[in-house]
Amino acid sequence: MRAAVFAEPGKIEIVDRPDPQIVNPTDAVVRVVLACVCGSDMWFYRGQTPYEAGRPVGHEFIAVVEDTGAEVRALHKGDVVIAPFAYSDGTCPHCRAGITTACLHGGFWAYGGMDGGQGEAVRVPFADATLVRIPGSGHSDEMMRSLLSLSDVMGTGHHAAVSAGVKAGATVAVVGDGAVGLSGVLAAARIGADRVIALSRHEDRQRLARDFGATDIVAERGEEATAAVMDLTAGVGADAVLECVGTDQSMQTAFAIARPGAMVGYVGVPHGVEVPLQSMFFRNVGMHGGSAPVRTYIPELMEDVLAGRIDPGRVFDFETDLDGIQEAYAAMDERRAIKSLVRVGTL
C-alpha cells in the first residue's frame, strides 16, 4: 500500500509499505477514505520533536472496514467508521474511567510499529472498542468533513472545555486559533457559555471563530493580550480558560487571564512550558487536561454533527490527495491553512 512517512524535517514522502493484515482476533483492517494533518504533526515536521526517518505519519481518519478478526462482533465489512487518534481496549480501568488515551493495552497510530492514518490502509487493534461506526449512508461531503474532525480536533477542543469546567452562562477565553482552538470556541458555545473570548491574530480565523460562537476577539499577544482580556472582563478575568497551543507564552497567558478560582483546560502538547505554581497557589487557579480521550466523546459529538447542530468540519480550509501530502504539511507550517484535509480513497 501507499503511505506517507517522515523523511526529514520539512519533508514528507509517499512510499510503499506492506499491506496490513489481521494479527489478533480483535483486529480489523480498514481502508482509509479521509485523513488530515494535525497541528501536533508540525512539531516533528519542523524538527522540534524527534521522529525517525521512514516512520509513518498521521493519526486522524475515516475509513471503511475491509476485514475483521474472529472476535470482532460490532463491526462488519463495509461499515464506515471514525478512528480516534488512539486505539484502546475499552475494558481496562482507565478506559472505564473514560480516559481512553491512557489505556493499559492501547497506543497511538504511527507509534510502536503501528500504521499511520495518512496511508491507504490501517490495522486497528481492539476494533470493537476503538472504531465508531457512522450510522446511515449518503452523508454529504460537508458532513463527512465534520465527522472526520471528531477523530481529534473537535474532541480535543471539547476536552479543553470539559477540563476547564465550562458551564452555561460562563465567560470563557480560548488561547490559540488553530483547529483545536477554534474547536474549543465551538465546544464552549455548544455547552452554553454566555461569552467566548477568542485570542486570534489572523483575520480568516477570527471570522471562523465568530461563526463558531466567539463574542469577542483579542488580537494581541503576551502582556498586551492579558491586558485586553482583563479590560473586556472589567478586571475579573475568565471563568474558564482553554489553552490550545502548548507553548510557554500561551500557557502563561492562559493563567494570567483566568479569574481566581478558575480552571485552565490545557490540550496543547507542551513544549518548553513552565507552570506558574506561585501564582496558581495564591489565586487558586487550577489546571486540568492533557491528551484528549476523544473515543469517549465521539458518540455525543457525532449526534450533534449528524443533527446539524455543529459543523466543526469548517476548520478544513485546504484539500489535497495523498500525492499532495507534502503540500498539505507545508500549507499548515506556513499558516496558509488552518487544517489540511487529505482524500485517500472513496466510499
Strand, coil or helix: 146: helix
Strand, coil or helix: 142: helix
Taking only the tens place, the pLDDT of each residue in 313-325 is: 999 999 999 999 9
Nearest to 161 by CA among 174, 176, 146, 152: 174
Q: Cα-atom radius of gyration of the chain, to the nearest Å? A: 20
Give pairs for 208-213: CB < 8 Å, separation 24+.
208/182, 208/314, 208/315, 208/338, 209/174, 209/177, 209/182, 209/185, 211/314, 212/182, 212/183, 212/185, 212/186, 212/314, 213/185, 213/186, 213/188, 213/189
Q: Are strands 339-343 and 28-36 parallel, antiparallel or unpaired?
A: antiparallel
In this structure, what DSSP letter does residue 29 have? E
What band does 16 get if pLDDT is binned at 50, 70 and 90? Answer: very high
Measured distance CA(161)–CA(173) in Å, rounded? 10
Cell numbers linked to 343: 482524500
The proportion of the chain whose per-residue pLDDT surpasses 70, expressed as a percent, equals 100
**Beta-bridge partners for 320:** 342
What pLDDT is attached to residue 112?
A: 93
Mean pLDDT of the 132-145 span: 96
Measured distance CA(134)–CA(69) in Å, rounded? 20
What band does 229 get if pLDDT is binned at 50, 70 and 90? Answer: very high
- Domains of the chain and CATH, by start: 2-152+293-343 (3.90.180.10), 156-289 (3.40.50.720)
Cell numbers linked to 25: 482476533
The proportion of the chain whose per-residue pLDDT surpasses 90, expressed as a percent, equals 99
In this structure, what DSSP letter does residue 119 have? B
